[in-house]
Structure formats: C-alpha cells, structure tokens
C-alpha cells in the first residue's frame, strides 16, 4: 500500500477499497475514496488533515481540502459525514418499499456506506503510526471514530 | 430486530455531542433530546437541521418548556418527535395558522414552524403568503429538498424545471417557486437562506431569526439522499456563497431582491432582508391589549360579561 517514503500508492489504494468494500471497479473505488476524503476534510482540523494529506497523491490531498472549512463544524455528525456517500448510492431498488413511512431500501443504505468508509479508512491507516491513528480518532465525530478504529 | 428498531439503529441522537453546554441556565444539548430515534434516511439533511435547531435553542438559553415546534406533514415534519420541546404536528400545509394561534395565545412562547417545501410553498402556500404580510412572531424553517420525499419522490414547488422525478419522467414542466423573492414580495420582514450541510452556520442563522420581531423565514437547502440525486451535498458546497462575506446589506430591499434572483452556479446563503420597523401581528391585535390569553384567569368571563358578549354578537 505504501511506498518507500511512506506515501500511499493510488492504484493500491483503489484496489484495497474495491476489494474491501466489494465494489465493481477501480473507478467506483476512486469515487468512494474522493467522497470519504471530502467528508474527512470537513471534520478534521487543519493540522490533522496535513498528517493524512502528506501521504496522499497530490490530487487526493486536494480533494480533502476541497470543502474544508477554516474550523471543523462541531455539529457535523455521522449522518452528515456519510450523506455524500448515501446520496450516490442506489436507494430506489424496487418499486415501492414503503412501510409506515420508512423506505426499506434507503433505510438500510448506510450499511453499504459504512462498509465503504471503513474500507477507505483501512487504506489510509496503512503505515500510519498508532499515535497518529489515535489522535485522528479523537477528532472524528463519535460514530465515525468507531469506524476509524475498526477499519476494513 | 424490527424495521423501526433497525431504521434508527445507531443513528443520530445517542451519539451527538450531547455534552455541549449553553451559555447559561445550566442547559445542555441533551435537554432537547428525546428517546425517539429519527426514521430519516441515513445521511438525510434533516439531521443537520435538527442539530442546528437544538444548538440555536441551547445557545439562546431557551429552555424546552419555553419553545414549541409546530410541523406539517412530510419527512422533516417528523422533527417535533425528536426534540424535547412542546410540539404540534398539524395537517399538511397548516402549521403556520396553528403556530400563529400559539403565538397569539402566548406571545412569550418561542414558536418555531418546521415543514418542507411542499408543505410550506405548495399545499400551505396560501397560509404562507398571508403569514408574510401579517408578520406574527414565528420562526419558519423550511426544509427545502426540492422534492416530495415522504411520498416517494414527486416533483415539488421548488423542483427545477426539467428535473426527472417519479411524476415527471420526462422532466418537470413547471417553473419553480423562488421562495426568497415570493416572501419579499409578500411583505416578509426577515428572509434568509441556510444549508443543512453546515449546521453550525445554520444554527447562527436560526439564532438571528429567533431575535427577529416578527415572521422570520429561513429557507434551508437540504439534500434528499434518496429522491434527489442532483442537489447533493457536493452540488451545494460547490455553489454556496455567503451574502455576509460579499458585503450584502440586509436592510437594502432592492439589493435583497437582486441577490434573491441568483440560484444556479452561485447560490447565496445568509440573511437577504431584515427590517425591525414593522410591528409583529400579536402587538397589533386589539383583543390582546388586556394581555396574553394564557395569563388571563379561566373565570375571566363571568355571567354578566357573557351576556354582554351574547347581546353584542347574537
């Protein structure tokens, strides 16, 4: 996953995410990686983003900065973190799955999103010192930190 | 595990930063939470609106018993279930008149209306226009996801022309409502727009609305992860610009009108227009000159007074 300088190899990154999240192609994996990086960019402070960006290929570190605010929004929770992933997932699998106001397909779509996020987290953590992993976990929204601690 | 349990499992409430403290009165975010878990889709923009509303009440030091949230029908109108404040779920499109009644009965109560773009601008459009001109002291949060989501994705009053939905497979043929301009034209005294994906900034706008003297409209751009695959979190993030940082003067009606016309490559958020010079509706109702209804004794109307009323009206 990492090169001699400790940087993350892009092709390896996509392969890992494709395999760990059971995706159909590296192109799909690339889209997932970019979405997760954009979400990470919104919840991590600048110094912590720099720890990850320093190991990423330039275009992916730019993705992390794309919507990064000057200061992380403390109200961003797991829902807003995974929202940009679920927005891109198939949520209308069958004609009408409504039951009591719930849409059964979209209600379960976070399972796919979480699997994808954990896959990206697994790739990002390769070669990352334990203390850095711990620091980042402490800065993530509560449930997102659980996924970070249990990567795929 | 039942569907209801699964739908809310691990989501939202239990894991919010609930230890956040307000500036006074010993309130924390947990004081506004219920045991109910939201049944919204994972990643729904409604979560950001819920978090922002709780934060705004917390930061304003408004205790749960001092606020009422009135909703209509729709995904976002489930919100009163997820907040520990007074709540009233009304009929589709009808929260504004009910909320006005709350305000007239008890002007000390902070009355917040939460409904969607279909409820507010479509079915309840008539009530909305007249609320704008009446100017009752309400904060109106419109969760604008540009779709009817609870009923499976029909196009709504704010759906962009040409958008394919379940009821417009060849693209919507209608021109969308411009809520900001419509409110301005109808005489609204506080008109703003926020984004559900930026809850901290949204909370700040809700706080500004809570400080307004009369009716405050806050149109909230809200991604629907299930039925709107166009207006996504990233789509908005790429387009949003802040009126405040571009030197907009919210006391300038003409400038507000001009900025309200922008919705495309640039989408302004913030306060478009505000004037505190128009008295609130409840300040002008003659029947309230003797004080709020809620403070009057229950036996206020004795037999003689009742007979006098009967003579006058019957």
pLDDT one-digit tens code per residue, B41-98 = 999 999 999 999 999 999 999 999 999 999 999 999 999 999 999 999 999 999 999 9
| Spatial contact of B23 and B59, defined as CB atoms under 8 Å apart | yes
| Spatial contact of B82 and B36, defined as CB atoms under 8 Å apart | yes
CATH at A72: 1.10.490.110
Cβ contacts of B200 on chain A, cutoff 8 Å? 73-75
A112 within domain boundaries: yes
Nearest CA distance, A130 vs chain B (angstrom): 25
Number of compact structural domains in chain A: 1
A4 within domain boundaries: no
Task: Count interface pairs A-B at CB distance under 8 A.
Answer: 128
> What pLDDT does B71 receive?
98
Lookup: tokens for B58: 């917390």
Tell me B232's DSSP state: -
Separation between Cα atoms, residue B59 and residue A46, nearest integer Å: 26
A88 within domain boundaries: yes
**Please, what sign has the CA dihedral across residues B70, B72, B77, B81?**
positive
Separation between Cα atoms, residue A145 and residue A136, nearest integer Å: 8
Range of the domain at A38: 10-149
Separation between Cα atoms, residue B314 and residue B305, nearest integer Å: 14
pLDDT tens by residue, B286-295 = 989 888 889 8
What DSSP line would sit under B258-284, residue for residue? HHHT--SS-EEEEEEEE---SPPHHHH
> What pLDDT does B145 receive?
96
| Spatial contact of B83 and B53, defined as CB atoms under 8 Å apart | yes
Query: According to the per-residue pLDDT averaged within each range, which of A98-107, B2-11, B122-131 is highest?
Result: B122-131
Q: Is 60 exceeded by the pLDDT of residue B3?
A: no
| B179, containing H or E segment | helix B179-185
Lookup: tokens for B124: 């309840």
Lookup: tokens for B179: 């809520």
Nearest-5° Cα angle at A80, A77 to A82: 105
- The ipTM, to two decimals, is 0.91
Q: Which of A84, A100, A103 comes nearest B233 by C-beta?
A: A84
Cβ contacts of B234 on chain A, cutoff 8 Å? 35, 38, 67, 84
CATH at B115: 3.40.50.970
pLDDT tens by residue, B219-272 = 999 999 988 989 999 999 999 999 999 999 999 999 999 999 999 999 999 999
Separation between Cα atoms, residue B128 and residue B133, nearest integer Å: 9
Average pLDDT, stretch A59-84? 95
Range of the domain at B272: 3-313
A3 within domain boundaries: no
A2 within domain boundaries: no
Number of compact structural domains in chain B: 1
Whether residue A102 and residue B42 make contact (CB cut-off 8 A), yes or no, is: no
Nearest CA distance, A83 vs chain B (angstrom): 4
Nearest CA distance, A141 vs chain B (angstrom): 8
* Strands (DSSP E) found in A40-149: 98-99, 102-103
A5 within domain boundaries: no
Average pLDDT, stretch B37-43? 91
Cβ contacts of A78 on chain B, cutoff 8 Å? 10-12, 15
């Amino acid at each position: 996953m990492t090169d001699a300088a400790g940087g993350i190899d892009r092709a390896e990154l996509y392969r890992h995410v494709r395999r760990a999240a059971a995706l159909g192609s590296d192109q799909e994996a690339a889209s997932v990686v970019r979405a997760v990086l954009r979400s990470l960019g919104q919840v991590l402070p600048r110094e912590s983003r720099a720890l990850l960006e320093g190991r990423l290929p330039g275009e992916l570190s730019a993705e992390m900065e794309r919507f990064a605010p000057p200061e992380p929004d403390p109200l961003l929770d797991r829902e807003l973190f995974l929202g940009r992933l679920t927005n891109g997932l198939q949520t209308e699998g069958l004609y009408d799955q409504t039951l009591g106001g719930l849409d059964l397909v979209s209600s379960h779509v976070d399972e796919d999103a979480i699997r994808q996020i954990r896959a990206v987290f697994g790739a990002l953590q390769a070669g990352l010192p334990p203390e850095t992993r711990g620091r980042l976990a402490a800065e993530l929204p509560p449930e997102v930190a659980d996924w970070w601690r249990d990567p795929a | 595990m039942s569907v209801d349990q699964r739908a809310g499992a691990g989501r939202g409430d239990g894991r919010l930063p609930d230890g956040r403290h307000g500036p006074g009165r010993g309130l924390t975010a947990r004081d506004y939470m219920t045991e109910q878990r939201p049944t919204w889709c994972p990643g729904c923009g409604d979560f950001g609106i819920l978090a922002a509303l709780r934060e705004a009440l917390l930061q304003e030091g408004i205790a749960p018993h001092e606020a009422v949230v009135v909703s209509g029908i729709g995904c976002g109108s489930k919100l009163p279930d997820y907040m520990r404040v007074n709540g009233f779920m009304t009929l589709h499109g009808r929260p504004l008149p009910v909320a006005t009644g709350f305000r007239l009965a008890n002007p000390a109560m902070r009355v917040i209306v939460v409904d969607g773009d279909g409820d507010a601008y479509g079915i309840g459009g008539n009530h909305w226009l007249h609320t704008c001109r009446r100017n009752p002291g309400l904060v109106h949060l419109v969760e604008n996801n540009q779709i009817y989501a609870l009923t499976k994705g029909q196009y709504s009053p704010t759906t962009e022309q040409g958008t394919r939905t379940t009821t417009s497979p060849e693209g919507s043929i209608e021109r969308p409502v411009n809520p900001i301009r419509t409110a301005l034209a109808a005489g609204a005294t506080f008109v703003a727009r926020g984004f559900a994906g930026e809850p901290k900034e949204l909370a700040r706008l809700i706080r500004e609305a809570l400080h307004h003297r009369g009716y405050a409209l806050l149109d909230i751009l809200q991604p629907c992860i299930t039925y709107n695959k166009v207006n996504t979190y990233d789509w908005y993030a790429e387009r949003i610009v802040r009126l405040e940082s571009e030197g907009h003067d919210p006391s300038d009606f003409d400038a507000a009108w001009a900025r309200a016309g922008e919705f495309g490559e640039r989408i302004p958020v913030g306060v478009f227009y505000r004037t505190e010079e128009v008295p609130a509706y409840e300040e002008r109702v003659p029947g309230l000159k003797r004080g709020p209804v809620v403070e009057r004794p229950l036996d206020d109307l004795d037999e003689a007074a009742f007979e006098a009323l009967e003579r006058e009206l019957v």
